[in-house]
């Protein structure tokens, strides 16, 4: 174990609405210092900017409008980073603030740059404290929540473990004995059915987004853990192997970097619908998507754009880079390889989405 990402929810960092829990942050910083002594690098993904802004403005419930949430974040973020700095200082550690946007990470050189900055902070022995740049992220370009952001950071930085610490003690077996499930080796539809959303006034995540995040992390080769962030010494206990919360094993065949990039860092510009035969070819036979199985498309996209591939019930089953634009799709739908050859004699590759740039969701 060399590198861990610790995600802390607003409910763990604040008391009531928007009042910072300095004692809790102090305890967490003490544990971070201990982890660093074990030669493990720590990255923190900290929520709480909007919650702290709400507290400063005296708001009792999370505002609905994006502009109000962004205003709260603008007020709360500077308070939040100061709390982290105050908590880390007694341990001779510095906090380094990184505010990310989804849009930024889609662009290859910004993604590489964010990774380089984080690596540099870690080699200065600084604790990166990461959040979404909430005050400038518009809805359509938002990560959505910090569970997903934390998993993307774990994937970006090739971390070994992701700890999601919130008010949830772990994944609860609601179909069975009502206890926390200690280990999950794979996120199956049965496991996903155990998750439900949050109704807290400051939180946005909930178990559904936690499991999505964990899927992303474990598919990137990173193990993950959900546990109650208010429990004493929780980080150290998890690292010592104590059975607490739910542990999720890393996939033994993680996606290569390019496929992770496609699956998790890109937003599709549209979708291509396919028939049952093509679904089978993609899912079971691990083939490329050919024009013969294409039935239609929606959205406007160009050659090289990322699109979702939908099955016959419009469920996204895969994502990939298309070789054909949305204008061309209606001409090539249902066409055989020979027909395509005579339509595009100058094109060398006629797969609609080649397997090398296709990832199953």
Residue number, 146 or 288, with CB nearest to ligand GLU = 146
Name which position in 12, 25, 35, 134 contacts ligand GLU (CB under 6 A).
134
Among 163, 97, 185, which Cα is nearest to 134's? 97
Closer residue to ligand GLU (CB): 49 or 279: 49
DSSP 3-state of 333? coil
* Stretch near ligand GLU under the rule CB under 6 A, chosen from 19-27, 129-137, 220-228, 331-339: 129-137
Please list every residue from 164 through 223 that binds ligand GLU, using CB under 6 A: 204-205
Q: Does 274 bind ligand GLU (CB under 6 A)?
A: no
Of the pair 202, 271, the CB lying nearest ligand GLU is at 202
Rule CB under 6 A: say whether 271 interacts with ligand GLU.
Answer: no
CB of 76 to ligand GLU, least distance (A): 7
The answer for residues whose C-beta is within 8 angstroms of residue 29's C-beta and 6 or more apart is 84, 87, 88, 90, 91, 93
For residues 271 and 26, what is the distance between their CA atoms, to the nearest angstrom? 47
Contact residues for 279 (Cβ-Cβ < 8 A; gap 6+):
293, 311, 312, 317
Q: What is the DSSP string of 166-232?
A: ES--S-B-TTTTSSBP-EESS--HHHHTT--B---SS---BHHHHHHHHHHHHHTT-EEEEEETTST
CB of 80: closest distance to ligand GLU in angstroms?
7
CB of 322 to ligand GLU, least distance (A): 31
Residue list 32-51, contact with ligand GLU (CB under 6 A) = 47-51
Tell me, residue by residue from 135 to 154, as one string, x for binding to ligand GLU by CB under 6 A and - for no binding.
----------xx--------
28 binds ligand GLU (CB under 6 A): no
User: Does the footprint of ligand GLU cover residue 11 (CB under 6 A)?
Assistant: no
Q: Is residue 14 part of the contact set for ligand GLU (CB under 6 A)?
A: no
Nearer to ligand GLU, 50 or 162 (CB): 50
Query: In this chain, which of 5, 6, 8, 10 binds ligand GLU, going by CB under 6 A?
Result: 10
Between 10 and 247, name the residue whose CB sits nearer to ligand GLU.
10
- Based on the shown chain and the rule CB under 6 A, indicate whether residue 87 belongs to the binding site for ligand GLU: no
In a 10 Å sphere around its CB, with 0-12 CB exposed, 13-18 middle and 19+ buried, how is residue 298 labelled? Answer: middle
What are the residue ranges of helices labelled H in the chain?
10-13, 22-37, 49-57, 66-88, 102-106, 108-123, 146-156, 189-192, 207-219, 234-239, 257-260, 276-283, 326-332, 337-343
Span between the terminal Cα atoms of the chain, in Å: 28
Nearer to ligand GLU, 144 or 169 (CB): 144
Report, in Å, the least distance between residue 153 CB and ligand GLU.
13
Site size toward ligand GLU, by CB under 6 A: 15
Distance CA 316, CA 307 (A): 10
Question: Measuring CA to CA, how many Å separate 231 from each of 22, 30, 64, 85, 156?
Answer: 15, 14, 31, 22, 28
18 binds ligand GLU (CB under 6 A): no
Does 83 contact ligand GLU by CB under 6 A? no
Longest Cα–Cα distance of the chain, Å, equals 72
Residues of this chain that bind ligand GLU (CB under 6 A):
9-10, 47-51, 73, 131-132, 134, 145-146, 204-205
């Amino acid at each position: 174990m060399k590198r861990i990402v610790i995600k802390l929810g607003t409910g763990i960092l604040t008391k009531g609405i928007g009042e910072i829990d300095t004692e809790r942050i102090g305890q967490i910083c003490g544990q971070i210092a201990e982890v660093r002594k074990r030669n493990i690098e720590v990255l923190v993904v900290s929520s709480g900017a909007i919650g702290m802004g709400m507290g400063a403005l005296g708001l009792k419930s999370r505002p609905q409008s994006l502009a109000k949430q962004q205003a709260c974040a603008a007020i709360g973020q500077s308070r939040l980073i100061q709390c982290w700095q105050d908590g880390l200082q007694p341990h001779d550690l510095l906090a380094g603030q990184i505010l990310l946007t989804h849009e930024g990470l889609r662009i290859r050189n910004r993604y590489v740059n964010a990774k380089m900055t984080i690596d540099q902070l870690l080699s200065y022995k600084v604790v990166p404290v990461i959040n979404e740049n909430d005050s400038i992220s518009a809805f359509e370009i938002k990560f959505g929540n910090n569970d997903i952001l934390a998993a993307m950071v774990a994937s970006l930085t090739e971390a070994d473990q992701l700890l999601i610490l919130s008010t949830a003690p772990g994944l609860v077996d609601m179909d069975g004995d009502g206890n926390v499930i200690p280990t999950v080796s794979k996120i199956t539809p049965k496991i996903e059915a155990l998750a439900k959303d949050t109704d807290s006034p400051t939180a946005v995540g909930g178990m559904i987004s936690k499991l999505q995040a964990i899927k992303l992390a474990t598919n990137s080769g990173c193990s993950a853990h959900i546990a109650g962030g208010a429990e004493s010494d929780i980080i150290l206990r998890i690292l010592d192997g104590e059975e607490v919360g739910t542990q999720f094993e890393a996939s033994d065949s993680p996606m290569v970097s390019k496929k992770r990039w496609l699956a998790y860092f890109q937003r599709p510009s549209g979708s291509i619908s396919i028939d049952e035969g093509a679904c089978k070819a993609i899912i079971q036979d691990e083939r490329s998507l050919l024009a013969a199985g294409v039935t239609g498309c929606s959205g406007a996209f160009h050659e090289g754009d990322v699109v979702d591939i939908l099955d016959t019930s419009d469920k996204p089953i895969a994502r990939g880079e298309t070789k054909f634009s949305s204008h061309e799709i209606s001409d090539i739908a249902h066409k055989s390889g020979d027909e395509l050859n005579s339509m595009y004699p100058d094109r060398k590759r006629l797969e609609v989405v080649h397997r090398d740039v296709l990832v199953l969701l």
